C-alpha cells in the first residue's frame, strides 16, 4: 500500500488541515506527531527508503524501535494536504531510543519538527502512563488560550477552574485538569522536560505566551480535546471583555454533582472556594 493511501496518514492529514482551518497554525506554527501501529508500518513499508541516523536530542528508551508520523520543521500546516510528501515524514527510532532516521517523506529535504524532543519525551511519558493507549501529540497556537496566559495566574489550579466554569462539558472532557508551563525557549530540552513532568498527570499543557500541547489516543480525541479547551478559553475571553467579574458561575458542589452523574473523578485541588 502507498503511504498516502493509508487510513492513518489520511487521518493525520485531516487533523492538520482542521487545525489550519481553525486558525491555530500561522506560517509554520505548530506540530503534530503520531506513534504508528506495527500493522500500519507493515502495510506501507514497501515505500520506505531509510536515511541516515541522526540524534534526537533526548533519550526515549521506552520508544526504541517505534515509528512516528511527524510534521516537518519549518513546514506549513496549510500545505499538508496539497504537498504531503514535502510537509511531513515517517521516522524510525533506533534500538536505544536515542537516534532517528527518516524512512519516508520530506522529499525536498529538511528534518522533523524542531519540537521533536518534546514530542518524543511526552510520547514516552504517555506510553507509560496509559499502557500504550495514547498515540497522538499535538501542539498548536490557539489565540484565546494564549491570550489568557497574560491575564490569569500561571497555575494549574487557576487555568483548570476558570476553563471548567466556562462550559459544563469541560470537566467531562478534561476531568484531570490542565497543566501550565511558564514561558521557556521553545524547542529545547528544558521545555520538553517541564512538559513531560506535567503530562504524567494531565493530557493538556499550556505553554505560557506560546500555545497548547495535547495528548490523546487518536486524532479525533486529541483534536477534540484541544478544540474544547480553546472554545472554553474563547468564552472566558468574551466574559472578561464584558465585565471583569462573573455574576454567576458553576460552583464547587455543582462540579461534584456533575462528576457523580457522569462518573468522572475531579481532583479536589481544583474545587477550592473563591474569595
Single out the residue of 169, 263, 158 nearest to residue 225, CA to CA. Answer: 169
pLDDT value at position 190? Answer: 83
115 is catalytic: yes
Over residues 239-252, mean pLDDT: 93
**pLDDT exceeds cutoff 90 at 185:** no
- Cα 43 to chain center, whole Å? 26
**pLDDT exceeds cutoff 90 at 38:** yes
Start-to-end C-alpha separation, the chain: 60
Decide: 125 and 196 in contact? Cβ < 8 Å: yes
H/E element holding 47?
none
Q: What is the distance between the alpha carbons of residues 206 and 134, in angstroms, rounded to a whole number?
A: 19
Q: Calculate what percentage of the chain has a pLDDT beyond 70.
A: 100
DSSP 120: H
**Identified catalytic residue from 115, 124, 165, 230:** 115
Higher pLDDT, 274 or 165: 165
Decide: 7 and 15 in contact? Cβ < 8 Å: no
Q: Name the pLDDT band for 187 (thresholds 50, 70, 90).
A: confident
Q: pLDDT per residue over 208-218, tens digit each?
A: 999 999 999 99
Q: Calculate what percentage of the chain has a pLDDT beyond 90.
A: 91
pLDDT value at position 180? Answer: 97
Amino acid at each position: 500500500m502507498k503511504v498516502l493511501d493509508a487510513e492513518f496518514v489520511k487521518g493525520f492529514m485531516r487533523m492538520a488541515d482542521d487545525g489550519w482551518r481553525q486558525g491555530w497554525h500561522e506560517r509554520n506554527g505548530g506540530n503534530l506527531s503520531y506513534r504508528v501501529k506495527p500493522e500500519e508500518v507493515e502495510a506501507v513499508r514497501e515505500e520506505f527508503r531509510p536515511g541516515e541516523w541522526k540524534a534526537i536530542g533526548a533519550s526515549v528508551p521506552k520508544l526504541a524501535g517505534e515509528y512516528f508520523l511527524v510534521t516537518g520543521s519549518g513546514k506549513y500546516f496549510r500545505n499538508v494536504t496539497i504537498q504531503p510528501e514535502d510537509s511531513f515524514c515517517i521516522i524510525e527510532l533506533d534500538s536505544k531510543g536515542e537516534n532517528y532516521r527518516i524512512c519516508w517523506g520530506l522529499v525536498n529535504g529538511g528534518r522533523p519538527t524542531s519540537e521533536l524532543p518534546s514530542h518524543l519525551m511526552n510520547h514516552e511519558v504517555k506510553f507509560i502512563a496509559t499502557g500504550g493507549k495514547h498515540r497522538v501529540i499535538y501542539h498548536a497556537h490557539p489565540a484565546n488560550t494564549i491570550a489568557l496566559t497574560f491575564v490569569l495566574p500561571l497555575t494549574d489550579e487557576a487555568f483548570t477552574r476558570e476553563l471548567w466554569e466556562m462550559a459544563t462539558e469541560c470537566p467531562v472532557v478534561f476531568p484531570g485538569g490542565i497543566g501550565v508551563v511558564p514561558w521557556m525557549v521553545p524547542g529545547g530540552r528544558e521545555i520538553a522536560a517541564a512538559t513531560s513532568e506535567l503530562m504524567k498527570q494531565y493530557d493538556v499543557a499550556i505553554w505560557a505566551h506560546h500555545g497548547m500541547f495535547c495528548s490523546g489516543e487518536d486524532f479525533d480525541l486529541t483534536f477534540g480535546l484541544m478544540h474544547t479547551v480553546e472554545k472554553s478559553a474563547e468564552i472566558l475571553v468574551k466574559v472578561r471583555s464584558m465585565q471583569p467579574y462573573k455574576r454567576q458561575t458553576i460552583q464547587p458542589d455543582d462540579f461534584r454533582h456533575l462528576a457523580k452523574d457522569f462518573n468522572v473523578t475531579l481532583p479536589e485541588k481544583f474545587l477550592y472556594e473563591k474569595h
